Amino acid sequence: QYPNWSREDILNYTEPKQGYTKESPGFQRFVSVLCELNADERKAFVQFVTGCSSLPPGGLANLHPRLSVARKNETETSYPSVNTCYHYLKLPEYSSEEILRDRLLTATREKQFHFN
């Protein structure tokens, strides 16, 4: 089963942290990129941040702990990293959606970005 979410789901059930707020440009770019992912990319993202291949019944609303997105103080050449146990994504503040999308999708395909 492929995960599905809306912009409202992401805004309501994702917690920005450590330098990000719901209004932060970097967090807003993240939300836009997640909304544009195709079904396979969404599944890869969920696997990357949770360690599971699907969301629980009810989607992001029933993901516990909630998905957290923390600002990672790194350069644009850095990649996102995660702590899957806590659904904790560490995301550099990229200057564009294109860069964010590229780095995020690369990270979802590679396994060495956990726990960085």
Q: How far is CA 5 from CA 37, 52, 73, 94, 111, in A?
A: 10, 16, 28, 22, 24
Selecting among 35, 39, 52, 85, the annotated active-site residue is: 85
What is the per-residue DSSP string for 25-79? HHHHHHHHHHHH--HHHHHHHHHHHHSSSSPPTTGGGG-SSPEEEEE----TTS-
| DSSP count for the chain of H helices, then E strands | 4, 4
- Active-site residue, 85 included: yes
Query: How far is 99 from 77, CA to CA, in rounded Å?
Result: 9
Catalytic positions are: 85
